[in-house]
Structure 1
Amino acid sequence: MELPADQRGHPSGGPHLVLHSEALRLLGDHLFGPYALHRLELGTWSGNERAVRAFTRRGFREEGRRRAVMPVEGERSDRVLLGMLREEWASRGRAKGASAGVPVGASAG
């Protein structure tokens, strides 16, 4: 899920961060539930510490960095890569319908 450029690293955090957090929860419930995906991954730039904290609070783990690949305000920043496995989401009580199987036409990742 890629956020529009005008919402990436929004300086106020505030309501944007709450909405993104709720959207992330709903997306995880949907993708790990009915679609039975194995993992989710996302990324942000290293200067977006609020996003990194929010994703980490949701259970995502930092899996790596791509150094100096993102131009931000005239400088190069790292891209922080985070991921979560289905089992980790389920252990947090988030995988609704996890045993429902994969819908027809969907892949289990």
Structure 2
Amino acid sequence: MLRCRTFSFCHSLGVFHLFVRLETELEHKGFQFSEEEKLLGRCLGLLHDIGHGPLSHVLEGIMTPDKRHETWAIEIITAPTEIRCVLESMDSGGCPKRYVKYSKVILNGSW
């Protein structure tokens, strides 16, 4: 049994796991995903809450009233951070830029 020390970490692993299961199920039903789409979806699953701070939903409006965790996440991914370096090392095709594009769609619902 996997035991996590932090709920946020477990949550992100769970979202990653659910994405992989969804991907597998859809492929069994005839959908096809490129390797790029799989990588991007898995990164989104793992990193979708990277902008959260401690008690983020409770303190978000107080600590940073003009900036939501989605905005922080995009900044973490696009700034010169270790996370961006890891993403770029996995994919030379601009993964951080695509992450931002698709995370805006998924997190904010803006098509």
TM-score (norm 2): 0.30
| Higher fraction of helix | 2
| Higher fraction of strand | 1
Q: Which has the higher contact order (CA 8 A, sep 6+)?
A: 1
TM-score (norm 1): 0.30
